[in-house]
Amino acid sequence: MLDEAIDDISGLRTQPVWTKMPQARRQALREALPEQPQGLAAAYDQFRETIRPYATGNRHPAFFGWVHGAGTVVGMLAEMLAASLNANLGGRDHAPIEVERQVIRWAAEMLGFPAAASGVLVTGTSMANMIGVLVARTQCLGPGVRRHGVGMSGLRAYSSAAAHNCISRAMDMTGLGTDALRLIACDEAGRMDLAALAEAVARDIDDGFKPFLVVGTAGTVDTGAIDDLSRLADFCAAHEIWFHVDGAFGALVRLSPTRRGLLDGIERADSVAFDFHKWAQVPYDAGCIVVRDPLIHRAAFASSADYLRRDVRGLAGGAPWPCDLGPDLSRGFRALKVWMTIKTYGTRRLGAVVDHSCDLAQYLARRVAVTAGLELLAPVALNIVCFRVIDVDGDLDTLNAEIVADLQEAGIAAPSTTKINGVVAIRAAIVNHRSTHADIDRLLEGVLAAARRHAGV
């Protein structure tokens, strides 16, 4: 299994980026609950035939869809070792929890947070942002909110209109409601308009609401834009509002020697959510929340139950436990793949991946700019390029969406789509450490060939 997995990863370039799972294969997975043992060999055979060839494709160097990490063999091996221990990181006194604490200290160091900052690994930034909302709520209303609920407290949160939709979902899932999130307009560079933010906060205070949270974005999902984090930090300090940053992929820019200044101000946030499974290439899933004040983090989640009693001696020692820092009790050993990735490659090589992706994005943007029939749709702040085919008869939105689906189905490249100023964009998010200039060329040539085919020339 190990040999074949490594061979498979070595041979990615010779494979299509993505192959749609044929109906017969889907059907082959459907079977009644197995009563008799089928054996490991049979299960593995089915994995080889029915599962492995039809995965997402995000390991492939020509995969540019959404914002996916590519993973590494190191991460894969760490997953195997972690599984061999079958550790439960909800709590108790053992080495795997010390590994997670080390990962959190490294995350704090990367972000410029104090060494005593608190944090926990979670599935992804969606969950990390939700934890950020809950901690901010606890800070604003006090821990009593956990008993009596938010009721009609009139809390209001603010993010830019370009913030990821999981912020709105976090408001929904925490019971604050999506109406309590004000989406602030962006400037031309896709960054939150700070005058509009100040206006919205002032208006809400006048109307008797309680502004409690500003979410800055370091790397918007559509274009990679970065809010002015320093000025947001000033604003939040002046108004005593919790300052949370969604740095899902962008937080890793802190490791880039040439671009880290773009994130100035993130070190002043009250909390930051980000992913190790995107730009840091750790296999899914590995999100992270870091909170400056460990006491308020714990106050938002810690609870006691007789069967989870902490002790000073024995295996029940080692408080606080990770279950005091988030919603999960039983938790896997995500920390090992993060720890091994950071130790194996070091922050220099991880930072070099960030720079390489951004350089490829600049290369793609330049090529789009000089190619007739293509149009760049947004400034390229980091690693995301939004463009489209123009100068073709017919509906451009439909055409560009079809070109993307054509490329995916042909297995040539996998960009995705978004809407920029109301029009459909071909969106290339360059995250993969395996991608090269030749892969960017392959994407562009694929787009142009598909455009010619649709135009019938």
**Interface residues toward ligand PLP, by CB under 6 A:** 67, 124-126, 164, 166, 217, 219, 221, 246, 248-249, 275, 287
Please tell me the distance from the alpha carbon of residue 201 to that of residue 207, in angstroms, as a whole number: 10
Closer to ligand PLP by Cβ: residue 135 or 451: 135
Q: How far is the CB of 220 from ligand PLP (least distance, A)?
A: 6
Query: What is the distance between the alpha carbons of residues 384 and 368, in angstroms, rounded to a whole number?
Result: 13
Closer by beta carbon to ligand PLP, 276 or else 321: 276
CA separation for the pair 97, 339 (Å, rounded) = 12
Q: How far, in Å, are 223, 225, 284, 327, 338 from residue 281 at the CA level?
A: 20, 21, 9, 25, 9
- CB 246, CB 129: distance < 8 Å: yes
Least distance from ligand PLP to the Cβ atom of residue 245, Å: 10
CA dihedral 82, 88, 90, 95 (to 10 degrees): -60
The count of C-alpha atoms lying within 13 angstroms of the C-alpha of 282, restricted to the half-sphere facing its C-beta, is 30
Task: Select 211 or 250, whichever has its Cβ closest to ligand PLP.
Answer: 250
List, in order, residues 6 or more apart from 433 with CB less than 8 Å away.
70, 72, 281, 353, 356
* Least CB distance to ligand PLP at residue 368 (A): 22
Query: Minimal distance in Å, beta carbon 365 to ligand PLP?
Result: 19
Name which of 67 and 108 has its Cβ closer to ligand PLP: 67
Distance of CA 402 to the CA centre of its chain: 26
Comparison of 221 and 269: residue with beta carbon closer to ligand PLP? 221
CB atoms closer than 10 angstroms to residue 149 = 11
Residue facing ligand PLP at closest CB distance? 124
Q: Cβ of residue 383: shortest distance to ligand PLP, in angstroms?
A: 11
Choose between 91 and 132: whose C-beta lies nearer to ligand PLP.
132
As a whole number of angstroms, the distance between CA 56 and CA 46 comes to 18
* Smallest separation (angstroms) from ligand PLP to the CB of 160: 11
State the minimum distance, in angstroms, from the CB of residue 335 to ligand PLP.
16
Shortest distance, CB of residue 166 to ligand PLP, whole angstroms? 5
CA angle 342, 299, 145 (to 5 degrees): 130
Can you tell me the distance from the alpha carbon of 289 to that of 325, in angstroms, rounded to the nearest whole number?
9
Which of residues 64 and 321 has its CB atom nearest to ligand PLP in the complex?
64
The tokens 């400034």 sit on which residue?
379
